[in-house]
Amino acid sequence: MTQTKGEISVSRVVDASTLASEGSAAAYSRFSFFKSPYLKALRPKQWTKNLILFAAPLFSFKIGWLPFLEVLHAYVLFCCVSSSFYLINDVLDVESDRRHPVKCKRPIAAGLISIPTAIAMAVLLLGGALSIAWSTNLGVGFALSSYALLQIAYNLKLKHTVILDIVAIATGFVLRAYAGAAATSTQLSAWFLLCTAMLALFLGIEKRKAELRHSRGGASKRRAVLARYSLPMLSRMESVVTTGTIMSYAAWSAGPNLSGASTHWMMLTLPFVVYGIFRYQLLSDPKEIARRLSNSGDRGGKTERPEEVLLTDRPILLTVVAWVAVVVLILFLKQQGLIQ
């Protein structure tokens, strides 16, 4: 059957449209890794916790391409090690995760990744990261190895031990901060380490408070150590570490007279820290949770997942951005000799 000229033109348009759609599908498939269960199993949202590595050089005003690349190298290694333990945990808890209403969607529990594959990924990430760390920077290698041993102790015993479970979480953040300093040969201030420890304890306590409320709200069985905690006890602990966090940061930002920051102008950043802590406490308040419940359905509050607070709560995100902007401005003015 003979085609007319108009029919041929329409056919060519259809063919071109088909090729374009096929090209789009091919492009999507090339980026499908970002939605793959393998990446999801590594829990990339949790990598925000490793950003504390950048704190030591930033607080010491070591800002430049070389320090940035050195810390970025250590950051990637910590992400690899932390993801390896997420994989190991998911393998060990696969049966309980399958009975959990939320955790059953994790790739290993859902059967999207086989257990042998998950174990191979964990061994590759852990072994590779430790080997690279020790061969490139002894300080980072020590911090990373200590962090790995801490994770083993935490998963075997400490996460089931009241108080020590929160202390272990805080120790992990201190090791991250130390690794950032070791990567850039930065001398750490005692106030900086104390502030890091206090802030990590604060986040750990807030996480336990959210988990405890969530378990009382009719959720499935939670971690056994929660039976040893109560909301009044956690609130008293929170009061202590909140005060410690603010006071240690204030002492650091007061300047070199207190062996803190290199300039007392860092005191200008204190209001952002105070507001950020108070905002985080607001998100964990029962009345605030009840107000948001109709929209989110999250009985435990976002503070059960600190990484989501950082990424999704706009006021806290803006506070972090404003804090960084003020720090950079102080650094610029100090380098120009306009302030001491």
Structure confidence at residue 222 (pLDDT): 61
- Closest to 248 measured CA to CA, from 278, 268, 279, 270: 270
The answer to whether position 83 is within a domain reads yes
The yes-or-no verdict on residue 76 having pLDDT over 50 is yes
Here the tokens at position 91 are 């393998």
Q: From its phi and psi, is residue 220 left (phi > 0), alpha (psi between -120 and 50) or beta?
A: beta
CATH of the domain at 114: 1.10.357.140
Considering the domain architecture, whether residues 69 and 137 belong to the same structural domain is answered as: yes
Residues 330 and 257 in one domain: yes
302: DSSP letter: G
* pLDDT tens readout for residues 25-65: 444 444 455 678 999 999 998 898 899 999 888 777 777 89
Per-residue pLDDT at 100: 75
Average pLDDT over residues 240-260: 93
178 and 306 in a single domain? The answer is no
User: Does residue 57 sit in the same domain as residue 162?
Assistant: yes
Location of structure tokens 């201190």: 174
In a domain, 22, yes or no: no
Residues 195 and 330 in one domain: yes
Contact 45, 66 (CB under 8 A): no
Residues 116 and 142 in one domain: yes
For residue 55, the model assigns a pLDDT of 86
User: What is the reported pLDDT for 29?
Assistant: 43
Q: Residue 138 domain-assigned?
A: yes
List the one residue out of 242, 178, 171, 173 whose CA is nearest residue 206: 242
Q: Are 330 and 268 in contact (CB under 8 A)?
A: yes
Looking at the structure, tell me whether residues 90 and 184 fall in a common domain.
yes
Specify whether 50 is located in the same domain as 183: yes
Give the pLDDT of residue 12: 45
162 and 195 within one domain:
no
User: Quick one: tokens of 194?
Assistant: 């104390």
Domain contains 12: no
Identity of residue 143: A
- DSSP-derived 3-state class of residue 55: helix
User: Is 234 in the same domain as 182?
Assistant: no
Query: Has residue 14 been placed in a domain?
Result: no
pLDDT of residue 6: 47
What is residue 97's predicted lDDT score, i.e. its pLDDT?
Answer: 82
158 domain residue, yes or no: yes
Domain that holds residue 181: 44-188
Rounded to two decimals, the pTM is 0.79
Q: Are residues 262 and 282 in the same domain?
A: yes
User: Could you give the number of structural domains in the chain?
Assistant: 2
Are residues 176 and 212 located together in one domain of the fold?
no
Q: Which token pair is 62?
A: 């070591």
Cα–Cα distance between 153 and 116 in angstroms, integer? Answer: 23
